[in-house]
Amino acid sequence: EFIDNIKKTQAEVLENYSKIVKPGGKLVYATCSVLPSENQEQIKRFLTTDIGQEFTFVKEQKVLASESGFDGFYMAQLERKK
């Protein structure tokens, strides 16, 4: 339930902030998580929404604690179509 609430909030933030990105602008979605349900799956879901269809996936990067010595992170870069 805790993770489900976080995922809901993440989806709302992604959708709301995507609306203020100008055409050709970039949007970076980042979390302090390595869970696919909070990361790749959120991006895939977003890209199927009405507003998400106005974006293209550019790239993603994962930082794993076991490899970096830092906390785990995920970042995805999207670009709003012109």
Name 25's Cβ contacts closer than 8 Å, sequence gap at least 6. 79, 80
Kindly list the catalytic residues: 32
Nearest to 38 by CA among 1, 4, 72, 70: 4
Rounded Cα distance between 76 and 2, Å, is 23
